[in-house]
Structure 1
Amino acid sequence: MAVYIVSYDLNKGGQDYEGLYKELKNSPSWWHYLDSTWLISTSETAEQLYARIGKHIDKNDYALTIEVRRNYEGWLPKKAWEWIREHIG
């Protein structure tokens, strides 16, 4: 399985994005420690993942899906790093 970072800016105030969050949580495994960033572990391609979640955002929103590789660094809680090491290596 691949891991993708999904990052977004939701620009429509008052819009209900619950469908987006549910769709992201329907992934085989996911990580969400940062407000508008998710890591999604899935057998889908980046295009397939975006097609699945893209229907839940507005045309004035922004979203980015990129495959994550082993070169990473940051400051996160221990549980976050455990998920990353388990799913990315």
Structure 2
Amino acid sequence: MESIIVTYDLNGSGKKYDDLISKIKTYSKWAHINESVWFFKSDDSCAVIRDELMNYLDEDDSLFVAKLSASAAWHNTICSGQFLIDNL
């Protein structure tokens, strides 16, 4: 499985993140990195993941999906650094 990073902005007021977050949590070994940044494992392409997540966004929202293919560094993330070391 590939390491995936997803970041998003829900741009309208009163947006609910619950459905989007629930969908992200269906992927393998997910972690909440920062407020609108998530990590997980998947065999799907970035375009497939984008299309799946777009079902939970409005047209004015933004979304970025990428495969992590190199090393990473972090500080003060929401999830534990050990989780990232073990799962990147």
TM-score (norm 2): 0.87
- Find the counterpart in structure 2 of residue 76 from structure 1: 76
In angstroms, what is the RMSD of aligned CA positions?
A: 1.5
Aligned to 1:84, the other structure's residue is in SS state helix
Amino acid aligned to 1:51: D
TM-score (norm 1): 0.86
1:40-76 deviation digits (Å, cap 9, x = unpaired): 1111111111111111011101110011123211213
1:2-52 deviation digits (Å, cap 9, x = unpaired): 111100111011122321111001112201031000001111111111111
- Find the counterpart in structure 1 of residue 48 from structure 2: 48
Q: Is the 8 A contact 2:7 2:36 kept in 1?
A: yes
Q: Is the 8 A contact 1:6 1:37 kept in 2?
A: yes
Structure 1 gaps, min length 5: none
- Find the counterpart in structure 1 of residue 59 from structure 2: 59
Q: Is the 8 A contact 1:7 1:63 kept in 2?
A: yes
Write the distance in 2 (CA, Å) between the matches of 1:74 and 1:32. 13
